[in-house]
Amino acid sequence: MVDLHSHILPNIEADDGSRSLDMSLDMLKMAAYAGTTDIFATPHVNRQGVIAPWPTIIEHVKRLQQAADQSAIPIRIHTGAEVALDYSVLQLITAGNRAYCLSGSAYILVELTGQSQPDQVEALLYELMLREIAVRWVSPACRTGMRYGMARITRPLPRHLSSGCIDYTGPSFYIPDKYIYLTERNASCILSQYADYEGGGTMLDDVIRKGRLLDIYGSLLTERQRRCMELYFDMDWSLSEIGEELEISRQGVYDMLSRASKSLESYEQRLRLLARSDAVRSQLDHAGRLLEQGGPAQIEQAKKIIQEIEI
């Protein structure tokens, strides 16, 4: 299995991961025991403006790999970063430059900031696309204001970008090792066949839907269910972290999330508030396109659509 998202490197400035070499080795042992064969070291970069130099990350990966080999831990460590997406990223990732990308490939792991807005993110994605960089997301839907925006942003992009927007809401996202053989040369193929979620659509679509349902029907859940869902979807906490906060087991957290999700879907089946909201958005988008055409017939048709919405 391959772990694409980890904070395994010790003592990287502004990172919230390992605090010592011993801690890193313990984390690697746990990963190897769970079946992980390859792990990408992805420390935070550009969080609150702090940028760890790429050569420093490469050197830390080399040292950790040497320590892992000496400790007989059967795992390969690859370079990477979890980059906060704002306009300063365009100075880090220039044309032909693969610094901060996953193992020198054309893929970069990014996270949104508290100031992220759909239009800004869309413009940044377009600039990265021009530089032949494909984005992998870390919990894009955990930002409440971006839930609908992310659904809008990812769909118009070319397939090699839009279908590859994977959401990591748990500690890591694993894929079976038999489907992929990672080396420094072929790391660019990572997850290319794992873009689609097993239930149809993408994992991103599912998380966005859950978040929007929580916004609409969250007050109908029990206080503990609502808190659990908010920590998981809004705050991006792991199951273990939520378990500690709510004083229940990890399995208990999973069960609570499952029950709460089913309750939200049940409310939607009966009340259809989310479906109605999407229908109104679709009608407004259609009216907007008609107004952009500017012809008298199109303007009149747009007025009728808006009047129907008001009724």
Does the pLDDT at position 161 exceed 70? no
Is residue 213 one of the residues assigned to a domain? no
Q: Please tell me the total count of domains within the chain.
A: 3
Question: Do 236 and 121 share a structural domain?
Answer: no
Strand order, beta sheet including 2-6: 76-79, 38-41, 2-6, 174-175
Domain that holds residue 257: 221-271
Is 208 inside any structural domain? no
Q: Are residues 163 and 262 in the same domain?
A: no
Calpha distance 241→61 (Å, rounded): 27
Q: Are 251 and 286 members of one domain?
A: no
201's tokens = 């659509």
Asked whether the beta carbons of 211 and 260 are under 8 A apart, the reply is: no
Q: Would you say residue 188 lies in a domain?
A: yes
Give the pLDDT confidence score for residue 236 in this predicted structure.
67
Residue whose C-alpha is closest to residue 206's, from 169, 259, 173? 169
**Are 108 and 234 in the same domain?**
no
* 85-124 pLDDT, tens digit each: 888 888 888 767 888 998 888 888 888 877 777 778 888 8
* Residue 6 and residue 74 share a domain: yes
Pair (106, 150) in one structural domain: yes
In a domain? residue 279: yes
* Residue 95 covered by a domain: yes
Same domain, 31 and 61: yes
Q: What does the pLDDT average to over 81-87?
A: 89
CATH number at residue 182: 3.20.20.140
Q: Is the pTM of this model over 0.75?
A: no
Tokens of 291: 């107004």
Quote the CA–CA distance of 290 and 285 in Å, as a whole number.
9
Is the same domain home to 165 and 290? Answer: no
User: Do residue 95 and residue 150 come from a single domain?
Assistant: yes
Q: Which residues pair with 40 in a beta bridge?
A: 78
How many other C-beta atoms can be found within 10 angstroms of the C-beta atom of residue 23? 14
- Do 169 and 55 fall within a single domain? yes
Tokens of 222: 């029990």
